[in-house]
Amino acid sequence: MTRLLQILLVGVALTSAGSACAADTNWDGTWSGNLGKQKPWPVTVVITRGKVVQFSEKGVPFDVRFSNPTATGITFGDGSNYEVELSKAGNAVSAEVHGRLGTGPARLTRS
């Protein structure tokens, strides 16, 4: 029984450490930039308390139904139409947007 308890505690510690990595980085604020390579368009992401609360492309807001910290950043989306992976890149944020029209990169800075 003691061995099982040790394994469970290690598992909980590792899970918490992975979530804490993204939470330790100050993500809060409004991040703006451009999405796409050939014909880039503006995107904005608003993060409050480590969670994405707003996302818009070309000024049009999209539903944010989930926002989860990861070991390297934050993943958010609406669960069916799009998903975005954010990761820190110096003073900027790198984003990979996966949507109905494909996948595209974005680079965002805090405004």
Q: What is the pLDDT of residues 36-51, one digit of tens each?
A: 888 899 999 999 999 9
User: How large is the average pLDDT for residues 8-29?
Assistant: 52
Determine what percent of the chain is predicted with pLDDT higher than 90.
63
Give me the phi and psi of 23, to 5 degrees please.
-70, -30
Size of the chain, expressed as the number of residues it contains? 111
Domains and CATH numbers, the chain: 2-110 (2.40.128)
Residue 20 has pLDDT above 80, yes or no: no
Tell whether pTM > 0.85: no
Instruction: Supply the pLDDT for residue 100.
Output: 87
